[in-house]
């Protein structure tokens, strides 16, 4: 039985660890946060009458399976501080645990996820300057609170603007690539707000009608309205309403909308953490800074990568890539 380390416990790391354990391997799952589950830990179920296939419960299910699996040792609140290659694989030093911990493993899967662009660098969009301008992640966190709490905070019949592509597909002040999953989650978040709060209305601002996942194109949008235009500024009027100025792409004129909340969908970036561990291991990165990987393999023998540390992916894609990386690692071990 080989000892394998999986770094990061989001969908990719969980799926990788479970696949390895299902193949009788002993896995150490290292997570820097206190709880496992990765980013989806704070995503709400988007179902009202029927499942909207967001994938969040698939992650919760795998968290449960990992916690019950005797072959998977979960180590939370810690991270790799140093790695050395030895005759049998790698010697990994872990920080964050009481005392120094040094562990020998034969293979590593990196599943360290992504960072988001800090919307504060786009001061004109109001983030940090205006209280009711938040990121989609922050809105998910609010909705995780007890209903009484968020109902009071969001107010009666809130008018919500969701702004997609903040810093994505933008060469000058962001990243040129598409962040891939924000079309999907913004639509589901908008519909959830409308379903949960009587009288709420949601306008989703998008650059174009590009849709990356078939699931986005299904169903009745109801009181969610799509506006084709790029907001250029968010300000507050004297009555505390947020004013979103945008260029109406269809008519090439500048317009404005009045809202109570503005939700930003910032660009997905390579995580600092992935870059740091990648550098310790000598892992090559692509031109944007994500781990350079071909279907889970990296340029270093015995090191594999999965999920958003290799580029933006949905939950389902991340689960699949974790399993693929684990499969490659098993093949590597059997041939080593
Ligand atoms: C607001 C928002 C809503 C979303 N909603 C959806 C949705 O509805 N459906 C969907 O398909 N996708 C959604 N996504 C995308 C989804 O979050 C990703 O697909 C998914 O989280 C990627 O999984 P991952 O395992 O690659 O990374 P993550 O989930 O980010 O997990 C990475 C894990 O690695 C840990 N880690 C990082 N560095 C280290 C280190 N050095 N040592 C130890 N641990 C480390 C992190 O703490 C984290 O737990 C959403 C994204 C956002 C921002
Ligand atoms: S996939 Fe999403 S919407 Fe469907 S039940 Fe699971 S958490 Fe809810
Ligand atoms: S997934 Fe949609 S919102 Fe996100 S960057 Fe791509 S086009 Fe923009």
Rounded Cα distance between 292 and 288, Å, is: 10
CATH node for 117-267: 3.50.50.60
- DSSP 8-class letter at 60: H
Residue with the two structure tokens 């590009």: 210
CA 114 / ligand 1 centre spacing (Å): 6
Do 97 and 79 contact (CB within 8 A), yes or no? no
Mean pLDDT, to the nearest integer, of 166-194?
92
Q: Do domains 3-113+271-335 and 117-267 have the same CATH topology?
A: yes
Q: Ligand 3 mean position to 210 CA, how many Å?
A: 8
Ligand 3: atom nearest CA of 312 is 1
H-run or E-run covering 100: none
**Residue 302 · residue 84 · CB < 8 Å:** no
User: Hey, whose CA ends up nearest to atom 6 of ligand 2?
Assistant: 57
CA of 271 to the centre of ligand 2 (A): 27
Q: Best substitution site from 190, 215, 265, 317 to test ligand 3's pocket, by max atoms within 8 Å of Cβ?
A: 265
Predicted TM-score (pTM) of the model is 0.95
**Distance (Å, rounded) from C-alpha 170 to C-alpha 267?**
10
* Level-2 CATH architecture, domain 3-113+271-335: 3-Layer(bba) Sandwich (3.50)
pLDDT in tens, 160-177: 999 999 999 988 889 999
Averaged pLDDT, 114-134: 96
Q: How far is ligand 1, taken at its centre, from the CA of residue 257, in Å?
A: 32
For residues 74 and 28, give the distance between their C-alpha atoms in angstroms, rounded to a whole number. Answer: 6
Q: What angle do CA 255, 180, 44 make, to 5 degrees?
A: 85
**Given pLDDT bands bounded at 50, 70 and 90, which one contains residue 221?**
low
The pLDDT tens digits of the residues spanning 327-336 come to 999 999 998 7
Mutation test of ligand 3: which of 114, 136, 164 has the most ligand atoms closer than 8 Å to its C-beta? Answer: 164
Query: Would you say residue 219 has pLDDT above 70?
Result: no
The model's confidence at residue 230, banded by pLDDT at 50, 70 and 90, is: confident
Report the pocket of ligand 2 as residue ranges, CB < 6 Å. Answer: 45-47, 51-57
Candidates 112, 212, 214: which one to mutate for ligand 1, based on the most atoms within 8 Å of Cβ?
A: 112
Q: Name the residue of 55, 59, 195, 315 to mutate for ligand 2: max ligand atoms within 8 A of Cβ.
A: 55
The answer to whether 32 touches 273, Cβ cutoff 8 Å, is: yes
Supply the pLDDT for residue 269.
97
**Which has the closest alpha carbon to 81: 59, 99, 54, 68?**
99
pLDDT average, residue stretch 223-239: 91
Question: How remote is the CA of residue 308 from the centroid of ligand 2, in Å?
Answer: 21
Q: Are 131 and 154 in contact (CB under 8 A)?
A: no
249 pLDDT band, cuts 50/70/90, is: confident
What is the rounded distance in angstroms from the CA atom of residue 152 to the CA atom of residue 157?
11
Partner residues linked to 205 by β-bridges: 163, 227
Q: Which residues contact 170 (CB under 8 A, 6 or more apart)?
A: 176, 267
* pLDDT tens by residue, 265-283: 999 999 999 999 999 999 9
Query: Atom 6 (ligand 3): residue with closest C-alpha?
Result: 178
| Tens digits of residue pLDDT in 193-207 | 999 999 999 999 988
pLDDT at 147 over 90: no
Give yes or no for residue 210 having a pLDDT over 70. Answer: no
Question: Where are the domains positioned within the chain?
Answer: 3-113+271-335, 117-267
């Amino acid at each position: 039985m080989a000892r394998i380390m999986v770094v990061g416990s989001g969908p990719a790391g969980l799926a990788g660890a479970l696949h390895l354990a299902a193949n009788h391997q002993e896995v150490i799952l290292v997570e820097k946060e206190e709880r496992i589950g990765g980013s989806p830990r704070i995503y709400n179920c988007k179902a009202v009458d029927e499942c909207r296939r967001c994938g969040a419960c698939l992650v919760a299910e795998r968290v449960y399976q990992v916690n019950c699996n005797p072959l998977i040792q979960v180590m939370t609140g810690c991270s790799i501080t140093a790695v050395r290659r030895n005759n049998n694989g790698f010697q990994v030093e872990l920080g964050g645990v009481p005392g120094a911990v040094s562990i020998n493993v034969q293979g590593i899967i990196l599943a360290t996820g992504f960072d988001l662009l800090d919307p504060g660098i786009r001061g004109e969009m109001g983030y940090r300057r205006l209280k009711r301008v938040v990121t989609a992640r922050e809105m998910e966190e609010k909705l995780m609170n007890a209903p009484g709490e968020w109902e009071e905070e969001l107010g009666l019949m809130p008018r919500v603007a969701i702004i997609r592509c903040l810093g994505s597909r933008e060469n000058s002040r962001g990243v040129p690539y598409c962040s891939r999953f924000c079309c999907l989650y913004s639509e589901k978040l908008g519909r959830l707000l409308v379903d949960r709060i009587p009288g709420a209305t949601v306008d989703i601002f998008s650059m174009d009608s590009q849709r990356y996942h078939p699931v986005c194109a299904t169903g009745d949008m109801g009181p969610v309205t799509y506006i084709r235009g790029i907001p250029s500024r968010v300000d507050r009027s004297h009555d505390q309403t947020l004013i979103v100025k945008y260029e109406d792409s269809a008519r090439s004129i500048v317009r404005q909308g009045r809202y109570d909340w503005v939700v930003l969908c910032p660009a997905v970036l390579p995580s600092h953490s992935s870059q740091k561990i990648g550098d310790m291991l000598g892992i090559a990165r692509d031109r944007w800074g994500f781990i350079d990987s071909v279907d889970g393999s990296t340029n270093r023998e015995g090191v594999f990568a999965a999920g958003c540390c290799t580029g933006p992916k949905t939950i389902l894609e991340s689960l699949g890539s974790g399993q693929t990386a684990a499969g490659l690692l098993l093949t590597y071990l059997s041939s080593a």
